[in-house]
């Protein structure tokens, strides 16, 4: 039994070391970030703005009037542009006649 475990470890030693090294680096990074974040503080207005933002986002779907937008199509925009051009041309003509 011990011989089988030793031969298995010998065959997979490279993979075992990769996993061990990746785990060590990950745990080291987590510990360092924790040490840094332990002393990190934000000013009170940032917490207030963050709380307001989270409240708005979490209730966004409960108020459909916030998501209502007029149905604007390309045809509608084209009609608006044409109407504006004709209004501008009419205004120029009336200014010219004065």
* Cβ density class 7-19: b for 16+ within 10 Å, e for less: eeeeeeeeeeeee
- Which residues have a Cβ under 8 Å from the Cβ of 96 and sit 6 or more positions away? none
CA distance readout (Å), 5 to 11, 14, 31: 10, 15, 33
* The model's pTM: 0.37
Output the tens digit of pLDDT for each of the chain's 98 residues.
556 766 766 677 777 788 889 999 999 999 999 999 888 888 899 999 999 999 988 887 777 666 666 666 666 667 777 776 565 555 555 655 55
């Amino acid at each position: 039994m011990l011989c089988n475990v030793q031969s298995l470890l010998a065959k997979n030693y490279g993979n075992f070391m990769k996993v061990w090294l990746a785990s060590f680096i990950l745990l080291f990074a987590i510990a360092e970030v924790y040490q840094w974040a332990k002393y990190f503080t934000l000013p009170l207005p940032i917490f207030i703005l963050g709380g307001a933002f989270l409240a708005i986002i979490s209730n966004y779907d409960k108020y459909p009037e916030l998501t209502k937008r007029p149905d604007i199509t390309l045809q509608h925009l084209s009609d608006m542009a044409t109407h504006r051009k004709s209004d501008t041309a009419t205004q120029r003509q009336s200014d010219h006649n004065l």
